[in-house]
Amino acid sequence: GQSLEQPSEVTAVEGAIVQINCTYQTSGFYGLSWYQQHDGGAPTFLSYNALDGLEETGRFSSFLSRSDSYGYLLLQELQMKDSASYFCAVRDDYGGSQGNLIFGKGTKLSVKP
């Protein structure tokens, strides 16, 4: 079966660093995406890793290890507005389209003052 595992909740304080892990088991794999979703809002794209290593985009970084079927999202200098749910998603070849994403259940990040 296909599965993605990530922690359900994480709490951190403003200004801190937090890491959200994601392990996956899927039939195909083209890359790992991360999405942010505020309560009541739509998911928005944050980052993507197709190859092993670290990708940095401002305060956010994402890491992938294909051999370990593992990735993480690193959020630095946390701000209150970072309180949201974060989803990892594997780009799979589901249905043969090479375009479909399989989403994890999400990690709810709460940033405290």
- Interacting residues with other proteins (CB under 8 A): 4, 30-31, 33, 41-45, 48, 50, 87, 91, 94-95, 97-106
CB of 15 to other proteins, least distance (A): 28
What are the Cα distances from residue 101, in Å, to 15, 17, 51? 32, 27, 17
Nearer to other proteins, 69 or 105 (CB): 105
Cross-strand partners of 72: 21, 63
CB of 95 to other proteins, least distance (A): 5
Nearer to other proteins, 44 or 77 (CB): 44
Nearer to other proteins, 96 or 113 (CB): 96
Work out the burial of residue 54: count CB atoms within 10 Å of its CB; fewer than 13 is exposed, 13-18 middle, 19 or more buried: exposed
